[in-house]
């Protein structure tokens, strides 16, 4: 009897280990396949942005890059014969390209001399106040980014400077609470260099904050006007606002160089999301960052 029990136990252990190995291999294969497909989606986004750059015009929300890719079965892209997709993988791909310069760039808070820029600090304070966030959060972010960007050996540099956040989700490193982070995420971005906001894509809150003396009503009129006819030059937007308000080329523009690409792949019962930051330099589109956003079971 003891021998039977021992053999049964060993057999059960072997079966469990084999099942576990199959599960691990299956999960790893799904992860690898998903990452490969998302790399292809990123290449697709780069192609779209490169083709758009050939026009040399303004960056607007009426261009092909701004149209989201609705979830579609991957085999519908791969099959030459649309009636022959039964052998395609049960993978569903969706994605979206967004203009990163439609949001306020927190990197603008600190100048090349590692000092806080007063005009940009005032802009950030106006933005936060308009979206229901305490304006003094801008001061804390400016101080944290200044300390993180300050070069070694510079007078006043902290002995233990904070890490430099590369994305808005990492602003918690600078002490931003979860609720404030949720509120500011749709309106701010962190880019590698200082950038103007795009009048053709930015929200009225971001536009109003970026132009000294502008209120939400005036910014809203610009948004309504661009929906009918996008701005081809800053001068076109300037003609729609009071002459007392000046649109500075260093703070606003009608073109964009930085874009975010969010890709989502659903493969079987797994979901993988990836957020990438791209920079467009002429006809060259370079990936700067790739961040895994989500890896979880797909909803039933």
Please write the tens of the pLDDT for every residue from 143-162: 999 999 887 766 667 777 88
How does residue 297 score in pLDDT terms, banded at 50, 70 and 90? very low
Residue 242 phi, psi (nearest 5): -55, 145
With CA atoms as reference, report the closest residue to 192 among 48, 289, 52. 289
With CA atoms as reference, report the closest residue to 102 among 229, 223, 189, 4. 189
**Are 198 and 254 spatial neighbours (Cβ–Cβ below 8 Å)?**
yes
Range in 26-40, 60-74, 166-180 with the lowest mean pLDDT: 26-40
Does the pLDDT at position 240 exceed 90?
A: yes
Q: What is the mean pLDDT of residues 72-93?
A: 61
Give the pLDDT of residue 94.
85
The Cα–Cα gap between 85 and 79 comes to 6
Name the pTM for this structure.
Answer: 0.82
Give the pLDDT of residue 29.
57
The tally of CA atoms less than 13 A away on the side-chain side of residue 294 is 13
Distances (CA, A) of 42 to 140, 165, 216, 278: 35, 23, 35, 9
The Cα–Cα gap between 95 and 68 comes to 6
Question: pLDDT digit string (tens) for 248-292?
Answer: 999 999 999 999 999 888 877 778 888 999 999 999 999 999 887
Q: Which residues pair with 297 in a beta bridge?
A: 270
Residue 72 phi, psi (nearest 5): -140, 150
Neighbouring residues of 136: CB distance < 8 A, sequence distance ≥ 6: 125
SS3 of residue 192 by DSSP: coil
Tokens of 188: 């701010």
Neighbouring residues of 266: CB distance < 8 A, sequence distance ≥ 6: 71, 91, 92, 93, 298
Neighbouring residues of 120: CB distance < 8 A, sequence distance ≥ 6: 108, 109, 142
Residue with tokens 């697709």: 44
Does the pLDDT at position 25 exceed 80?
A: no
Angle, CA of 176, 135 and 163, to the nearest 5°: 30
Question: pLDDT digit string (tens) for 4-17?
Answer: 666 667 666 666 66
Q: What is the largest CA-CA distance in the chain?
A: 97
Q: What is the mean pLDDT of residues 187-208?
A: 97
Q: Are strands 104-105 and 188-189 parallel, antiparallel or unpaired?
A: parallel
CB-count burial class (<10 Å; 0-12, 13-18, 19+) for 103: buried
């Amino acid at each position: 009897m003891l021998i039977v029990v021992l053999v049964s136990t060993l057999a059960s252990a072997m079966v469990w280990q084999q099942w576990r190995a199959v599960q691990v291999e299956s999960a790893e294969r799904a992860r690898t396949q998903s990452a490969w497909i998302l790399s292809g989606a990123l290449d697709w986004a780069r192609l779209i942005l490169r083709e758009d750059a050939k026009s040399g015009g303004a960056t607007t929300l009426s261009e092909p890059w701004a149209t989201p890719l609705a979830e579609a079965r991957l085999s519908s892209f791969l099959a030459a014969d649309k009636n022959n997709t039964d052998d395609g993988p049960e993978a569903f791909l969706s994605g979206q390209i967004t203009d990163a310069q439609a949001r306020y760039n927190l990197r603008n808070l600190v100048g090349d001399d590692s000092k806080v820029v007063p005009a940009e600090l005032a802009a950030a304070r106006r933005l936060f106040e308009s979206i229901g966030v305490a304006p003094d959060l801008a001061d804390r972010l400016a101080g944290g980014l200044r300390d993180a960007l300050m070069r070694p050996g510079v007078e006043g540099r902290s002995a233990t400077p904070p890490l430099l956040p590369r994305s808005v989700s990492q602003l918690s490193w600078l002490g931003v609470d979860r609720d404030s982070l949720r509120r500011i995420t749709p309106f701010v971005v962190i880019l590698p260099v200082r950038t103007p906001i795009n009048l053709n894509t930015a929200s009225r809150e971001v536009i109003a904050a970026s132009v000294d003396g502008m209120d939400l009503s005036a910014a809203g009129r610009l948004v309504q006007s661009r929906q009918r006819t996008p701005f081809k030059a800053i001068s076109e937007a300037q003609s729609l606002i009071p002459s007392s308000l000046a649109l500075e080329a260093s703070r606003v523009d009608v073109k964009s160089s930085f874009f975010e690409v969010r890709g989502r792949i659903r493969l079987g019962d797994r979901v993988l999301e990836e957020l990438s930051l791209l920079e467009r330099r002429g006809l060259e589109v370079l990936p700067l960052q790739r961040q895994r956003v989500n890896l979880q079971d797909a909803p039933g």
